[in-house]
Amino acid sequence: MPHEPESALDEIAEPADGAAAEPGGATAVGATAAGGARAAVRRRRIGVLLAVALLAYVIDLVSKLLVVARLEPDHSVIRVIGDIMTFQVIRNPGAAFGMGQAMTVVFTAIAAAVIVVIWRIARRLYSLPWAVALGLLLGGALGNLTDRLFRSPGVFRGHVVDFVSVQHFAVFNLADSAIVCGGILVVLLSFRGSNPDGTSHQPAKAKDDTAAAGTTDRTE
């Protein structure tokens, strides 16, 4: 009489048609389970990236709508910290912090390219810090790209709304801040040897130190 599995666990543990006798069966099952777990981690990291990007984008968009509605009509200035930091609306045709004002279309293309690159990296994203960093970059790039596409004087040539003015520095917006913070985090992660896929690489200086130590050991 054929053996009836008593539970779902028995059914999983007892492969059909003698599969248990096939060499490497357990290894294949383990590899499949590990692959599934890794895919789940990647989905969670992409979820973090999108959540951070959405938060940065919404904060930037809402802040711009508010300052345009409240400050731009009568060119008002709000003093946040005396004359050191103020809020005043400036339409910026250039890049972050007012640079490259004659290259609006170029910076629009660059912002779109950055978004594509971030999304390509996200396909092999398993690191939580990298997810946060890329989310900040994506949200900031989308925030300024929205201005380029939908604000005057026209599509791809729209001027970005800047409103945070720091004395002796520049006028910028929260999308610029997100991009800068994300960029700094990317540099720090790279310096520490962290990769987006969760692996680690040894910084160049550490490699040189390790090689020098190995040479010293061999000569002693």
Catalytic residues: 162, 176
β-sheet bridge partners, residue 90: 162
How many Å apart are CA 140 and CA 89, to the nearest integer? 18
Rounded-to-integer distance, Cα 138 and Cα 57, Å? 8
CB 134 within 8 A of CB 59: no
CA distance 195 to 13: 37
Q: Alpha helices of 71-162 — where are they, by DSSP H?
A: 104-122, 128-150
> Which residues, in sequence order, are CB contacts of 166 under 8 Å at separation 6+?
84, 85, 172
Identify any residues that bridge with 162 across adjacent strands, giving them in sequence order: 90
**Which amino acid, residue 73?**
P
